[in-house]
């Protein structure tokens, strides 16, 4: 879909505007949306459309995805093509089934590739400790960069303490 | 009682409510999008066994369409949940500060909703609820990318922290687009009153984190808090500027809006929201006295479509709905004529 304003670039921002109780759909490219203050004043960004547009742009990329080889999740039957349409994965195993394509998409949406937040107890003590050590090491690197040596020393001790925790058999 | 509507919170001259939502899925069961009906009951059972006293579990199939819509209007569930109401359910605590949506886009969405600017507290509540569920339920979790969600936009922490902000002065002074653009550039999403894909009404903006992966929950909330603190200040500055330069015009606008709400016999939802925005601003600036922010919240919630009909006890056409709304608002403002 082309941008309604410039008719040149692809429309990636899809907004609904209410004027005199009438709904109007407006489709703009990112650049025109940025320039159009009026539209931004009372319009939301639609995250689903945003995702779909990222998927579209992946599809349009010069590196054509191999269409003949259909990727499908064995567990729930979700095909990658269907996922692209609806923007929803069918089950947690889909992440493994689409491992060739998903990480790139996730990186584009999230800007990151690795989870650093909460870890459920079911994931096991060992993973929790490993993750915590990783996080502390990252923090340590930053401290050294910003020359916060006192804090760095504290972090190093914490890491050593965690590394000496005996591994649970699970 | 609904805590976010009937209670007070910090900075509630600008921030109406704070919310933290955690998306979780149960290991080895297909996500709701690929779920067959029999299996959705199994998820109900797992959640019912994991919650304790003080929580009410309601299968949405057993509720009326009106009641489901009222839950959306109270922001306790998303519009998305009622689309497939035969397979979904909701868990609520007594003051409705915790709600758990079952079989929305993910199996479980824990939501904590509080009045005013209380993101840390909202996270604490959601996090504790999550710990409680986790004792009984085995979540789908991946060592590398965290909590697995149906949409990759939620993977990682599965957390969406958001505030509902009333920003009339920034809108009037046309600074709002710059503020929102800046928020967008640093990874925050801005949406309308009911979340994803809804329009902004009554100068109410829902601002939330966009990314859920690669940052801890604390960092995400810290970032949103920092940005919102600045936006709150900007909104207050804009209000002060309006007062300093255009006091009489501002007072005129607010009193006129009050006059209409206090006397109108026919009120559309759009008009009502516009006028309530002025009233809320008038209360925040102490121009209108004897009204508190709860009362405005109550008017805002109760003047929505389904709520008006619930109050009437029957479904109404647009015309009768607008008349009933006007009556409701007059009564809430103390006009019994
Ligand atoms: Zn354009
Ligand atoms: Zn699958």
pLDDT of residue A41: 37
Confidence check: pLDDT of B194 > 70: no
The single-letter DSSP state of residue B248 is: H
The distance of B163 to chain A (nearest Cα, Å) reads 14
pLDDT average, residue stretch B284-309: 90
- Of the listed ranges A113-127, B113-127, B232-246, the one predicted with least confidence: A113-127
pLDDT average, residue stretch A25-48: 58
Confidence check: pLDDT of B23 > 70: yes
The distance of B218 to chain A (nearest Cα, Å) reads 8
| Residue ranges in chain B assigned as alpha helix (H) | 3-6, 37-50, 65-73, 79-83, 119-134, 168-172, 176-185, 217-263, 269-284, 293-302, 305-312, 318-332
Confidence check: pLDDT of A68 > 70: no
pLDDT of residue A2: 82
Q: Which of B288, B291, B257 is nearest to B274 (CA)?
A: B257
With a CB-CB cutoff of 8 Å, which residues 10-49 of chain B face chain A?
25, 27-31, 33-34
Confidence check: pLDDT of A52 > 70: no
- Phi and psi at B311, nearest 5°, equal -65, -35
Residue-wise pLDDT tens digits, B110-150: 999 999 999 999 999 999 999 999 999 999 999 899 999 99
B159 vs A: CB within 8 A: yes
Which of B27, B128, B213, B266 would best serve as a mutation to test chain A binding (most A beta carbons within 10 A)?
Answer: B213
Which of A44, A121, A136 would best serve as a mutation to test chain B binding (most B beta carbons within 10 A)?
Answer: A44
- Of the listed ranges A105-114, B29-38, B84-93, the one predicted with least confidence: B29-38
pLDDT of residue A81: 86
The distance of A149 to chain B (nearest Cα, Å) reads 22
CA-based nearest residue in chain B for residue A44: B191
Cα gap B156→B217, rounded to integer Å? 10
Confidence check: pLDDT of B204 > 50: yes
Q: How far is CA B88 from CA A89, B52, B58, B78, B239, in A?
A: 18, 19, 9, 12, 43
Q: Which of B330, B256, B333 is nearest to B296 (CA)?
A: B333
Three-state DSSP string of B185-209: HCCEEEEECCECCCCCCCCEEEEEE
pTM: 0.79
Q: How far is CA B214 from CA A32, B139, B148, B324, in A?
A: 30, 19, 14, 49
Confidence check: pLDDT of B7 > 80: yes
- Of the listed ranges B136-150, B183-197, B240-254, B321-335, the one predicted with least confidence: B183-197
In chain A, what residues touch B34 (CB-CB under 8 Å)? Answer: 76-78, 90-91
pLDDT of residue B197: 57
Confidence check: pLDDT of A55 > 90: no
pLDDT of residue B156: 96
CA-based nearest residue in chain B for residue A35: B177
CA-based nearest residue in chain B for residue A54: B153
Confidence check: pLDDT of A38 > 50: no
Residue-wise pLDDT tens digits, B273-294: 999 999 999 999 999 998 888 8
pLDDT average, residue stretch B172-198: 80
- Of the listed ranges A87-91, A106-110, B37-41, the one predicted with least confidence: B37-41
pLDDT of residue A7: 81
Q: Which of B269, B253, B271, B157 is nearest to B213 (CA)?
A: B157
Token code pair at residue B118? 């209380």
Using 50, 70 and 90 to split pLDDT, how confident is the model at A40?
A: very low
Cα gap B328→B117, rounded to integer Å? 28
Q: Which ligand is nearest to the CA of B150?
A: 2
Residue-wise pLDDT tens digits, B58-68: 999 999 999 99
Cα gap A67→B232, rounded to integer Å? 50
Using 50, 70 and 90 to split pLDDT, how confident is the model at A22?
A: low
Q: Which ligand is nearest to the CA of A93?
A: 2
Using 50, 70 and 90 to split pLDDT, how confident is the model at A8?
A: confident
User: What does pLDDT average to over chain A?
Assistant: 74
- Whether A76 sits inside 8 A of B30 (CB atoms) is yes
pLDDT of residue A167: 60
Confidence check: pLDDT of B180 > 70: yes
A55 or A113: whose pLDDT is higher? A113
pLDDT of residue B257: 97
With a CB-CB cutoff of 8 Å, which residues 241-270 of chain B face chain A?
268, 270
pLDDT average, residue stretch A13-34: 66
In chain A, what residues touch B142 (CB-CB under 8 Å)? Answer: 92, 95, 115
Query: Is B249 exposed, middle or buried, given 0-12, 13-18 or 19+ CB atoms closer than 10 A?
Result: exposed
Confidence check: pLDDT of B196 > 70: no
pLDDT of residue B330: 95
Using 50, 70 and 90 to split pLDDT, how confident is the model at A17?
A: low
B312 vs A: CB within 8 A: no
Element holding B102 (H helix, E strand): strand B98-102
User: What does pLDDT average to over chain B?
Assistant: 92
């Amino acid at each position: 879909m082309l941008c309604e304003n410039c008719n040149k670039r692809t429309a990636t921002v899809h907004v609904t505007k209410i004027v005199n109780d009438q709904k109007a759909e407006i489709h703009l490219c990112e650049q025109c949306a940025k320039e159009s203050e009026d539209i931004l004043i009372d319009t939301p960004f639609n995250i689903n459309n945003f995702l779909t547009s990222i998927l579209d742009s992946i599809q349009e990329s010069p590196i054509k995805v191999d269409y003949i080889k259909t990727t499908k999740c064995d567990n729930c039957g979700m095909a990658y093509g269907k996922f692209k349409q609806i923007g929803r994965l069918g089950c947690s195993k889909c992440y493994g089934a689409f491992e060739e394509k998903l990480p790139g998409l996730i990186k584009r949406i999230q800007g990151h590739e690795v989870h650093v937040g909460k870890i459920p107890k079911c994931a096991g003590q060992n993973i929790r400790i490993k993750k915590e050590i990783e996080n502390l090491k990252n923090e340590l690197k930053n401290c050294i960069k910003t020359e916060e040596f006192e804090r760095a020393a504290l972090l190093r001790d914490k890491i050593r303490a965690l590394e000496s925790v005996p591994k649970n058999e699970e | 009682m609904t805590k976010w509507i009937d209670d007070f919170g910090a900075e509630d001259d600008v921030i109406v409510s704070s919310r933290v939502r955690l998306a979780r899925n149960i290991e080895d069961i297909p996500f709701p999008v690929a779920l067959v009906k029999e299996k959705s009951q199994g998820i109900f059972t797992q959640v019912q066994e994991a919650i304790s006293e003080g929580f009410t579990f309601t299968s949405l199939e057993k509720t009326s369409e009106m009641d489901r819509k009222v839950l959306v209007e109270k922001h306790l569930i998303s519009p998305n949940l009622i689309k497939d109401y035969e397979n979904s359910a909701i868990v609520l605590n007594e003051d409705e500060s915790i709600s758990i949506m079952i079989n929305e886009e993910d199996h479980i969405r824990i939501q904590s909703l509080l009045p005013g600017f209380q993101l840390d507290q909202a996270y604490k509540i959601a996090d504790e609820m999550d710990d409680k569920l986790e004792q009984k339920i085995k979540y789908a979790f991946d060592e590398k990318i965290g909590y697995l969600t149906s949409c990759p936009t939620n993977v990682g922490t599965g957390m969406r922290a958001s505030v509902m902000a009333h920003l009339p002065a920034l809108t009037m002074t046309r600074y709002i687009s710059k503020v929102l653009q800046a928020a967008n550039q640093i990874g925050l999403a801005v949406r309308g009153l009911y979340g994803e894909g809804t329009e902004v009404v009554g100068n109410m903006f829902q601002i939330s984190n966009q990314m859920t992966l690669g940052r801890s929950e604390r960092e995400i909330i810290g970032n949103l808090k920092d940005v919102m603190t600045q936006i709150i200040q900007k909104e207050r500055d804009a209000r002060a500027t309006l007062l300093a330069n255009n006091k009489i015009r501002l007072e005129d606008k607010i009193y006129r809006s009050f006059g209409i709400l206090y006397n109108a016999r026919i009120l559309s939802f759009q008009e009502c929201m516009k006028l309530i925005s002025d009233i809320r601003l008038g209360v925040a600036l102490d121009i209108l006295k004897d009204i508190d922010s709860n009362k405005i919240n109550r008017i805002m919630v109760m003047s929505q479509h389904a709520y008006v009909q619930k109050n009437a006890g029957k479904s109404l056409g647009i015309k009768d709905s607008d008349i009933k709304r006007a009556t409701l608002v007059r009564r809430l403002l103390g006009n019994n004529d």
